[in-house]
Each structure stands twice: as C-alpha cells, then as structure tokens.
Chain A
C-alpha cells in the first residue's frame, strides 16, 4: 500500500503554490465605459518581506472585464489575486447607459470572489474615485471604501449593497436593486446619496434621509438618527413661544417594524403599509414644555403625520423613476396564485398601484431630561 500513499502525495503536489510576497491583492476595482471599451482601474495591494505593504492603482482598457484583467497583469510583476476584492465601483455613466448586470454576473461566476463584495455607483466616474488619494488612516483606498460602506450600512440609512443582494434583487421580479452612490468632496470619496436602479440600469438617486424610508420599508430598521421637521401648528400645545419657524426634531435609536399587506388585486393592486416605530428624542430646535404622559401623544402624532407625508412623497418619486426597491411587485407576485409576473407587466401595474401608509410612532424616552 506504500506506493498508493506515495502516489497520493505526489498528485496533491500538482496544485500551484502561491507566495504572499509575489501576490498583488486587488482590493477594489472600478469600471467605466468609453465607447465600446471598459476602462478598469484597480487598486493593488502588495506586501514586502520587510512587513510593510504598498498600494498602487493600475489601469487598463479592454472589451471585457476579464480581458482588462489580463491587461492589468501585463503591468505588474505580482500575480494578481481577486479573492480579497472588497468593493467594486461602477461609473455613473456606465451604470446609466449600459447597465451593470454583465459585470456583476462575471463576479458571481468567478468562484474566487465571495458574495459579500460591496457594489457601489461612483460619481462622476469610478476611475476618479479609485484614484483618490484621501483614504484616512487605511492602507489603501479599497479598504477605506469598504469600511465607509460597511459602517454606513450598519448604523445609518444606507441600503444593503452586497453582490449577493444586488443579484438577488435583480433577478427578483418586482424588486429593483439599490446601491450606495459615492461622490467626491474635495477629492475624498463620501456617501451622500443612494442610487436607484431599474433592472440593472441606474435611473436616479435619492438623498440619504429619503433612503431612510426605503430601508425602513424594505426591511426592519434598527439604530440610526432621523431628523424630522414638523410645522408649528402640529405641536402647538407643547411650545412655549408661539411664533417662529418650523420645529426640527431629531430622533435616535430608532427601531421599526414594518408590515406590508396586500389588500386587493383589482381594479389596481392595493397595498397597506403599516410601520411601527419606537424611538427616543435626542434634539429639538426649540425649547418645549416637559414632555409628559399627557402631552407626549401630541408630539407622536405630529411626527407620524410628517413621516406619512414624506413616505408618500418618496413613493411618488420612486414611481416616477419606475423603480421598486421596496419590492411591492414581489409581494404581488407571491400573493396572487397562478401568476407568473413579468417585469413588463409589473412596470405597468406599478404606476397605478395604490399604497396606503400608516405610521405608528411611540416615543420611549426623551434622553436624560423630560
């Protein structure tokens, strides 16, 4: 039996080794389109034997993304590895005109790349974002972008953006993907907006405070801040001064539960959205009377009314963009028996869909003072 063991040992030596110092690890890649060609900019991180690491941006142009990858190989003495890729950026123009599905598809197909890669749209172009030199204390821009997105995803109003979730929403009939939209301020990449998609094509953006509602309606939402502006009349019983501008209220530690029920199919799809929200008050733009059991409902109702209005505005905006990131179509598809909804059918139905919004706010605490 010795020869058998020897044979197994020899065969397992056939797999090629990878030496860390010779690897160039790609942490982020940005795609733009120029004419027929993809312009790819990648950040390559390499390790020296001395222990330090260095990053470098390399660029290439080719007809396919993997072809560009080959051109990248020609520009470096390291073996490029994409197993550690963290963020993939798509230029706004590319996302708007050509759509990005074919590019995400190849990421999914490649077993080297995990499903938790973050995708994002870059403004004005992916190249400029990748080339930015301002990445705080992180070793390279890729790691910076990764942490930026991760943090905002966890604690703020940013919407989910991994490769898995993008592909999932893309394939789901009646649900459209959303991605973070990175832009540059003083050459530093920041997140200001959220990019809306129809299928795989970029159609527009919403501000982060609007995306708060999308996040709230699309999933359960925990933590994070929300600023809301209510008119004076609404909270009149609470105010000490009788005149002035609108009142700003900042809420913290928000926990929401949402429920979307499908009310009826005909004549047009009709949904009822119920949001239950628990929160605490962190800041008010004006001095108020102490908030007690007796008058807390005034504040709650005022917030509810304003939120309802804002949600309705947002839904109208989404309809105008013909995009459905919340997934009403998905609920429609799965609630009606014997129905194979096609994206085209839903596009038509979506415009006439009636959505009732019902918000229920309860203020649990008001900080350390009443």
Chain B
C-alpha cells in the first residue's frame, strides 16, 4: 500500500474533468471518421455512441476499484494483486503500453504536420522537438504542471468546435440513411476502431491518488468522457454528411480536410491555423503519458522520476526513429489502439474482480 501523496502535490477534483478529457482528445479525432466508417459505414456515429457508453461503464468500474483503498494507483494495485514478481511483469507491460501510446502520438502528429505544412522538414526533427518539449515541461513542473497544461489547453482549443460545424453547409443528410444497417459484427468492429481515439481515460488509474476530494472525482471523470463522446460523435456525423461514402474511404485526416473549406475574410486557409494549434491538443496527451510512464518506472525500478524522464524520453525517441513510412506508422497506431482496447476497455473489469477477491481473501485470513 502506498502513502497518500503530499498535500502540495494534490489537485482539485474538478481538474479531473480536464485531465480525462484532454487525455482522451488528441490525434485520433483528426482522422477517426474514416477508420470507423470503413467498418460500420453510415452507422459509424452509432458505434461512437456505443463506445462512449461502454467507457462510462469502464470509468465507473475503475472508480469502484480505486475506491477500495483510496491511496493506490494501478502499479501498487498490481503488486498487491499479483504479488512481487508477477506484479512487476504486469507493471512493465503497462509502462510499455504507455510508451507505445506516447510514441504513436509523436509520430502521428509529426507526420500530419509534415504532410500538410512542412514537407521538407525531416521526421526526426519534428519528433525531437516534441520530445524535448515534453522533457522540458515535466522536468520543471511534474504532475501539477500536467494538470495545469490540460486546463489551459482545453480553453485554448475548445473554440475550434464552433468552426467544426461550418462544413454543414455542404451537408447531404441523406448519407446517414438508412440508419442501423450495420450488422452486429460491423458494429463491434466499429466500436473497436474507436478505441484509439477514445483512449486516455485510463489515466484515472494513476491520477486518482492525487485528487483532494476523492468522492467528487468520479463525477468529473464521467463528465470528461461525456464531452469526448459528444465531440467524437459530432465530427463523425459531420464527416459522413460532408463526404460521399467512397470519398471518406480514402480521406486520411477527415477533420482537417473538412477545415479546408472553412474560409474567413482575414484567413483563407484555416487548416494552417488548426495544425499548429493541434500541438496544444496533443501536448496534454504527451505530458500525461510520459508522466504516467515515469510513475510506472518508479514503481518498477525505485529510481527518481527525474532520471526516468530522461531515460524514457530517449527510449521513445529511439523508437520513433524506426518509423519512416506512413503505412508503418498507421500499422503501429492501429496496434496501439488494439492493445489500448484490451487494456482500457476490457481489463478494468478483471482488475476490479481480482482486487475484490484479493481483499476478501486477505480479510478472511485475519
């Protein structure tokens, strides 16, 4: 069992809303439409809603799990449930997952920025900037900075939502018909494919011990998820009515392509505003996952988080250097989504059962 973190390090409950929401929204929402659409066709938005419902349930279960002890994060829970050796292995797997998620965001964002804005800039340069930025932020700030960044970037970017509805002037609503044509199998695949976009709520496992008013954290986490589901479902519906089906099948960054028709008298190509701005959207993701990694590393190696920060940053950067082509990056992101689905959508239920069982056994032993 862990001790509760220092008062100075803890955060207000309402910040959980921003932490969960900004950890969820990131790179996925830029191109999620095609990925789901390929599976569930015009019912893609239903798949998003279903996935959202599922996440609400998962967040509830995560909260129930964490409520058992109040002071534990996922790493100490694993040691508690699985014992020292097996627990170490499972924790290592979780850290690897965070590492992959972090790297996928690095690659995905840089790749997007290069395609749209800086075709002559090398991939390694872009990723280096982002890695350096993460290290710089976390070295000085730590967890309170992560919370602050999500709070600030949320307000700096949420206004984009207003603009997102502008493509509706080209909308052909008939594309949504007939509703519920997808077979259960297509729908399941659709839900599975939303995973990468909706991931991030699992940070609750690590953030929770830092929250001051624990009983209120749950409500805010649910609200964060609700907003995410609403946004992802909206952009999905808009993309379906904006593009024709076969066009959406080949559009990689549907949200960005929709921005190309937005025009203001003072700025003609709105996507050139959105892409740099998107750095603010993925920044909380990067910081959150890196911080989660160092948290896990601390549990694994009992080393100061500061040193781990440098080590993990180097590892992530080295990993990112392996990638060059879009096809391989896509495959990598797909894989992260797949593991993420297992870890965040399914595993919390098992963990809850394990924790309850372990506690029950311990209780009856006494």
Q: Is the CB of B174 within 8 A of A334?
A: yes
Task: Given A171-B246, A335-B177, A337-B181, answer yes or no on A116-B263 (Cβ-Cβ < 8 Å).
Answer: yes
A164-207 CB contacts (< 8 Å) to partner B: 164-165, 167-169, 171-173, 175
In the assembled complex, which residues on chain A have CB atoms less than 8 Å from the CB atom of B170? Answer: 164-165, 168
CB A220 to nearest CB in B, in angstroms, measures 11
Q: Is the CB of B245 within 8 A of A171?
A: yes
When the two chains form the complex, which single residue of A8, A14, A16 contacts B133, counting CB atoms closer than 8 Å? Answer: A8
Expressed in whole angstroms, the Cα–Cα distance for A12 and B170 within the complex equals 37
In the assembled complex, which residues on chain B have CB atoms less than 8 Å from the CB atom of A330? Answer: 172, 174
- The interface bits of chain B over 111-155 (1 if a CB of A lies within 8 angstroms of the residue's CB, else 0) are 000011111111001001100110110011000000000000000
Task: Given A1-B139, A168-B243, A334-B177, answer yes or no on A11-B128 (Cβ-Cβ < 8 Å).
Answer: yes
Expressed in whole angstroms, the Cα–Cα distance for A168 and B169 within the complex equals 14
Q: Is the CB of B260 within 8 A of A167?
A: no
In the assembled complex, which residues on chain B have CB atoms less than 8 Å from the CB atom of A241? Answer: none
CB A107 to nearest CB in B, in angstroms, measures 11
Task: Given A4-B135, A116-B263, A331-B174, answer yes or no on A111-B128 (Cβ-Cβ < 8 Å).
Answer: no
- Is B4 an interface position by the 8 A CB rule? no
Q: Is the CB of B174 within 8 A of A15?
A: no
Q: Is the CB of B246 within 8 A of A11?
A: no
Q: Using a Cβ–Cβ cut-off of 8 Å, how many residues does chain B contribute to the interface with A?
A: 36
- Is A114 an interface position by the 8 A CB rule? yes
Expressed in whole angstroms, the Cα–Cα distance for A358 and B296 within the complex equals 70
Expressed in whole angstroms, the Cα–Cα distance for A5 and B120 within the complex equals 22
- The interface bits of chain B over 176-208 (1 if a CB of A lies within 8 angstroms of the residue's CB, else 0) are 011001000000000000000000000000000
Expressed in whole angstroms, the Cα–Cα distance for A331 and B42 within the complex equals 14
Q: Using a Cβ–Cβ cut-off of 8 Å, how many residues does chain A contribute to the interface with B?
A: 32
In the assembled complex, which residues on chain A have CB atoms less than 8 Å from the CB atom of B172? Answer: 168, 330
Q: Is the CB of B246 within 8 A of A15?
A: no
Q: Is the CB of A168 within 8 A of B247?
A: yes
CB B82 to nearest CB in A, in angstroms, measures 39
Which of chain A's residues has its CB closest to B115's CB? A111
- Is A67 an interface position by the 8 A CB rule? no
In the assembled complex, which residues on chain A have CB atoms less than 8 Å from the CB atom of B175? Answer: 334
Q: Is the CB of B129 within 8 A of A172?
A: no
Task: Given A4-B136, A8-B129, A337-B178, answer yes or no on A172-B245 (Cβ-Cβ < 8 Å).
Answer: yes
Q: Is the CB of A7 within 8 A of B247?
A: no
Q: Is the CB of B129 within 8 A of A12?
A: yes
Q: Is the CB of A115 within 8 A of B261?
A: yes
- Is B69 an interface position by the 8 A CB rule? no
Which of chain A's residues has its CB closest to B180's CB? A337
In the assembled complex, which residues on chain B have CB atoms less than 8 Å from the CB atom of A337? Answer: 178, 181
- Is B358 an interface position by the 8 A CB rule? no
- Is B257 an interface position by the 8 A CB rule? yes
Task: Given A1-B140, A171-B246, A330-B174, answer yes or no on A114-B181 (Cβ-Cβ < 8 Å).
Answer: no
Q: Is the CB of A167 within 8 A of B115?
A: no
CB B179 to nearest CB in A, in angstroms, measures 10
- Is A348 an interface position by the 8 A CB rule? no
In the assembled complex, which residues on chain B have CB atoms less than 8 Å from the CB atom of A115? Answer: 257, 260-261
A1-51 CB contacts (< 8 Å) to partner B: 1, 4-5, 7-8, 11-12, 14-16
Q: Is the CB of A4 within 8 A of B178?
A: no
In the assembled complex, which residues on chain B have CB atoms less than 8 Å from the CB atom of A14? Answer: 121-122, 125
In the assembled complex, which residues on chain B have CB atoms less than 8 Å from the CB atom of A7? Answer: 132
- Is B244 an interface position by the 8 A CB rule? yes
B246-260 CB contacts (< 8 Å) to partner A: 246-247, 257, 260
When the two chains form the complex, which single residue of B122, B129, B269 contacts A83, counting CB atoms closer than 8 Å? Answer: B269
- The interface bits of chain A over 140-173 (1 if a CB of B lies within 8 angstroms of the residue's CB, else 0) are 0000000000000000000000101101110111
- Among A8, A172, A337, max chain B CB count under 10 A is at A172
In the assembled complex, which residues on chain A have CB atoms less than 8 Å from the CB atom of B261? Answer: 114-116, 162, 164
Q: Is the CB of A11 within 8 A of B125?
A: yes
Expressed in whole angstroms, the Cα–Cα distance for A331 and B115 within the complex equals 36
Expressed in whole angstroms, the Cα–Cα distance for A11 and B181 within the complex equals 50
Q: Is the CB of A11 within 8 A of B129?
A: yes
When the two chains form the complex, which single residue of A5, A15, A175 contacts B121, counting CB atoms closer than 8 Å? Answer: A15
- Is A338 an interface position by the 8 A CB rule? yes
Expressed in whole angstroms, the Cα–Cα distance for A83 and B267 within the complex equals 13
CB A330 to nearest CB in B, in angstroms, measures 6
In the assembled complex, which residues on chain B have CB atoms less than 8 Å from the CB atom of A116? Answer: 260-261, 263
Q: Is the CB of B181 within 8 A of A338?
A: yes
Expressed in whole angstroms, the Cα–Cα distance for A337 and B182 within the complex equals 10
In the assembled complex, which residues on chain B have CB atoms less than 8 Å from the CB atom of A164? Answer: 170, 260-261
Expressed in whole angstroms, the Cα–Cα distance for A331 and B173 within the complex equals 11
In the assembled complex, which residues on chain A have CB atoms less than 8 Å from the CB atom of B174? Answer: 330-331, 334
Which of chain A's residues has its CB closest to B135's CB? A4
Q: Is the CB of A334 within 8 A of B260?
A: no
In the assembled complex, which residues on chain B have CB atoms less than 8 Å from the CB atom of A114? Answer: 260-261, 268-269
- The interface bits of chain B over 40-67 (1 if a CB of A lies within 8 angstroms of the residue's CB, else 0) are 0010000000000000000000000000
Q: Is the CB of B246 within 8 A of A172?
A: yes
Q: Is the CB of B244 within 8 A of A168?
A: yes
CB B258 to nearest CB in A, in angstroms, measures 9
Which of chain A's residues has its CB closest to B268's CB? A114
When the two chains form the complex, which single residue of B118, B133, B140, B243 contacts A15, counting CB atoms closer than 8 Å? Answer: B118
Expressed in whole angstroms, the Cα–Cα distance for A194 and B202 within the complex equals 56
- The interface bits of chain B over 222-236 (1 if a CB of A lies within 8 angstroms of the residue's CB, else 0) are 000000000000000
In the assembled complex, which residues on chain A have CB atoms less than 8 Å from the CB atom of B120? Answer: 15-16
- The interface bits of chain A over 306-343 (1 if a CB of B lies within 8 angstroms of the residue's CB, else 0) are 00000000000000000000000011001111100000
In the assembled complex, which residues on chain A have CB atoms less than 8 Å from the CB atom of B177? Answer: 334-335
Q: Is the CB of A171 within 8 A of B181?
A: no
In the assembled complex, which residues on chain B have CB atoms less than 8 Å from the CB atom of A165? Answer: 170
Expressed in whole angstroms, the Cα–Cα distance for A347 and B119 within the complex equals 42
In the assembled complex, which residues on chain A have CB atoms less than 8 Å from the CB atom of B122? Answer: 14
In the assembled complex, which residues on chain B have CB atoms less than 8 Å from the CB atom of A338? Answer: 181
B residues near A (Cβ < 8 Å) are 42, 115-122, 125, 128-129, 132-133, 135-136, 139-140, 170, 172, 174-175, 177-178, 181, 243-247, 257, 260-261, 263, 268-269
11 A-B residue pairs with CB within 8 Å: A1-B140, A4-B135, A11-B129, A12-B129, A14-B125, A16-B120, A114-B269, A171-B245, A172-B244, A334-B174, A336-B178
Give 14 A-B pairs besides A11-B128, A162-B261, A336-B178 with Cβ atoms closer than 8 angstroms: A1-B136, A4-B132, A11-B129, A12-B129, A14-B122, A14-B125, A83-B269, A111-B115, A116-B261, A164-B170, A171-B244, A171-B246, A330-B172, A337-B181
Nearest 4 CB-CB pairings of A with B:
A172-B244, A171-B247, A171-B246, A115-B260
A residues near B (Cβ < 8 Å) are 1, 4-5, 7-8, 11-12, 14-16, 83, 111, 114-116, 162, 164-165, 167-169, 171-173, 175, 330-331, 334-338
